[in-house]
């Protein structure tokens, strides 16, 4: 079976009556929910340590002082 392109699908969906369109919407929503629910949740803690090399050797307070000074122009 040949894969239908998005526009072709849209034309066919527009030919459905509203009840069938709502049914299709509900089934698509359930499909998307099941696909996304099966993905593992991510944790903000996974970002820990990223960019560490960029800050290596910099004094944090000096950096903050320079940034604040730049606000005044």
Cβ neighbors of 4 (< 8 A, separation 6 or more) are 12
- What predicted TM-score, i.e. pTM, was given to this entire model? 0.46
Q: How far apart are the C-alpha atoms of 8 and 1, rounded to whole Å?
A: 14
Q: Is residue 29 part of a domain?
A: yes
Instruction: Specify the pLDDT at position 68.
Output: 93
- Considering only residues 1 and 43, tell me which one the structure prediction assigns the higher pLDDT: 43
Q: Is residue 45 part of a domain?
A: no
Q: How far apart are the C-alpha atoms of 56 and 25, rounded to whole Å?
A: 51
Q: Is residue 64 part of a domain?
A: no
Overall domain count for the chain: 1
Q: Is residue 28 part of a domain?
A: yes
The answer, yes or no, to whether residue 73 has pLDDT greater than 70, is no
Determine the structural domain holding residue 26 and report its residue range: 6-37
Q: Is residue 42 part of a domain?
A: no
Q: Is residue 26 part of a domain?
A: yes
Q: Is residue 21 part of a domain?
A: yes
Q: How far apart are the C-alpha atoms of 14 and 8, rounded to whole Å?
A: 10
Q: Is residue 20 part of a domain?
A: yes
């Amino acid at each position: 079976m040949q894969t239908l392109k998005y526009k072709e699908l849209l034309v066919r969906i527009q030919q459905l009556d509203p009840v069938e369109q709502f049914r299709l919407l509900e089934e698509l929503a359930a499909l998307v929910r099941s696909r996304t629910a099966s993905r593992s949740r991510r944790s903000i803690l996974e970002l820990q340590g990223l960019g560490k090399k960029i800050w290596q050797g910099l004094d944090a307070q000096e950096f903050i002082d320079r940034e604040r000074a730049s606000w005044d122009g």
